């Protein structure tokens, strides 16, 4: 089903706020791939989030709802403590259709509940790793098949990695997980529940995380370089984006009214935080990046780097298998020849023997 966001009935100001913004995709495609034709409007986002043992979550579902104005988790059942102990990592896929200005987008959110929750987290990313590979494999098969025109692209284009605001930067498990996945998927790190930190703390944590990313050789998604002939505003936006990693986000699904407009926010005894206010969080930057400005590039990097790597490895493995198979067949043929030779020699010997005996 396609979910209409209903901007037509709203005034212009609200319209902008209640609007995800992927209708700019034709422009993104146009700017990047003038003559390549039109891209498939499907987009898969994988959510990785780290939950501490006993912690109630990092606001992943809240953020997704705020980002895409849709509730993916209406029927979610919060697991009890016992269920959580027994929980194994499972993959839940939510597909939503959204339509804006006549452009339809199929968005898949792949959720990894319980990730990092178990007592033994050894290779807890394995299932996610397998999931990404399975999508590549399916695409590889479809691409090698007869009907290549209508391939459904289920490859994962982006992985939002939630970092806890309560830890001192990245934890060893975060490093391990990101490194296990960074050659396969575009990782976009986010600093969750940023409202629990002061402005200075956000700054320090971001710096520390960026340093750790470099120090541990984690290849997160790299924003493409801005062309030198682009206008200054765009260059500035681009730099802001690069400097904001990891995006400090705040999620809320509570609609509020004030100063003549509606907004999503969180109320505290000391004031109100506005999710979409750039002074309060990087929420808007992240959303714009995901759907307005970089959706096409995320798809292209998936195709040209991650999928190509997978494909090359697949072909290499297949070639090796063929060579081995041939070797095996040849060596078995040699063996067969040798045995036939032996049989022949024995027959000859017998013949000679009987000839001699007959004389
Ligand atoms: P999930 O388990 O990661 O999907 O987390 P949820 O979205 O269910 O959020 C868990 C709790 O954190 C809920 O009580 C939310 O209201 C709260 N929460 C979600 N986002 C934020 C945020 O940005 N800041 C704060 N302070 N709390 C949040």
Domain membership flag for residue 165: yes
- 125-164 residue pLDDT tens: 777 788 889 989 999 999 888 777 778 888 888 888 888 8
CATH number at residue 91: 3.40.50.300
21 inside domain: no
Q: Whose CA is nearest to atom 9 of ligand 1?
A: 59
Q: Is residue 256 within 8 Å of residue 263, measured between CB atoms?
A: yes
* Distance (Å) from CA 83 to ligand 1 centroid: 20
pLDDT at 161: 87
Res 153: pLDDT:
82
Q: pLDDT of 325-351, one tens digit each?
A: 877 777 777 788 888 888 888 888 888
Give 291 or 13, the one with higher predicted confidence. Answer: 291
Residue 306: CB within 6 Å of ligand 1? no
Distance from the alpha carbon of residue 254 to the mean position of ligand 1, in angstroms: 12
Range of the domain at 176: 32-293
Which residue CA neighbors atom 6 of ligand 1 most closely? 59
- Structural domain includes residue 259: yes
Q: Kindly report the protein residue whose alpha carbon is nearest to atom 20 of ligand 1.
A: 59
pLDDT digits (tens, 9 = 90+) for 54-89: 234 777 778 877 887 665 445 445 444 444 444 444
Dist. CA 317 → ligand 1 center (Å):
44
Which residues lie closer than 8 Å to 263 by C-beta, 6 or more apart? 17, 255, 256, 257, 274, 275, 276, 277
State how many domains the chain has.
Answer: 1
Distance 206 CA to ligand 1 centre (A): 20
- CB distance 195 to ligand 1 below 6 Å: yes
pLDDT in tens, 165-222: 988 899 888 898 899 999 999 999 999 999 999 999 999 999 999 999 999 999 999 9
Rounded to two decimals, the pTM is: 0.75
Residue 315 lies in a domain: no
| Per-residue model confidence as pLDDT tens digits over 85-132 | 444 446 677 777 766 666 667 777 776 655 555 555 566 677 778 888
Q: Is residue 246 part of a domain?
A: yes
What is the signed CA dihedral for 302, 303, 305, 307, rounded to 10 degrees? 90
Confidence class for position 31, pLDDT limits 50, 70, 90: very low
Cβ of 250 below 6 Å from ligand 1? yes
């Amino acid at each position: 089903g396609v979910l209409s966001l209903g901007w037509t009935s709203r005034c212009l100001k609200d319209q902008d706020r209640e609007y995800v913004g992927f209708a700019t995709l034709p422009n993104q495609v146009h700017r990047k791939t003038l003559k390549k034709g039109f891209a498939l409007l499907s987009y898969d986002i994988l959510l990785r989030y780290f939950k501490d043992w006993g912690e109630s979550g990092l606001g992943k579902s809240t953020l997704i709802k705020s980002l895409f104005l849709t509730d993916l988790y209406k029927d979610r059942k919060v697991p009890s403590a016992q269920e959580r102990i027994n929980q194994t990592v499972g993959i839940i896929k939510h597909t939503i259709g959204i339509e804006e200005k006549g452009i339809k987008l199929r968005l898949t959110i792949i959720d990894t509940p319980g990730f990092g929750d178990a007592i033994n987290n050894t290779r807890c990313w394995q299932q996610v790793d397998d999931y990404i590979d399975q999508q590549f494999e399916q695409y590889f098969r479809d691409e090698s098949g007869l009907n290549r025109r209508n391939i459904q692209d289920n490859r994962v284009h982006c992985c939002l990695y939630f970092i806890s605001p309560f830890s001192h930067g990245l934890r060893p498990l975060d490093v391990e997980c990101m490194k296990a996945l960074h050659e396969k998927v575009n990782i976009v790190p986010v600093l969750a529940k940023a409202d629990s930190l002061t402005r200075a703390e956000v700054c320090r944590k971001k710096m520390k995380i960026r340093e750790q990313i470099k120090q541990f050789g984690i290849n997160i998604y790299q924003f493409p370089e801005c062309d030198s002939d682009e206008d200054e505003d765009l260059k500035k936006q681009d730099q802001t984006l690069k400097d904001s990693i990891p995006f400090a986000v705040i999620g809320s699904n509570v609609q509020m009214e004030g100063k003549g407009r509606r907004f999503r926010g969180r109320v505290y005894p000391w004031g109100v935080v506005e999710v979409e206010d750039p002074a309060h969080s990087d929420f808007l930057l992240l959303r714009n990046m995901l759907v307005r400005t970089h959706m096409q590039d995320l798809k292209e990097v998936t195709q040209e780097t991650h999928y190509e790597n997978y494909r090359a490895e697949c072909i290499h493995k297949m070639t090796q298998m063929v060579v081995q198979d041939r070797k095996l067949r040849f060596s078995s043929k040699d063996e067969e020849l040798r045995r036939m030779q032996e049989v022949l020699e024995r027959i000859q010997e017998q013949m000679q023997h009987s000839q001699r005996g007959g004389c």
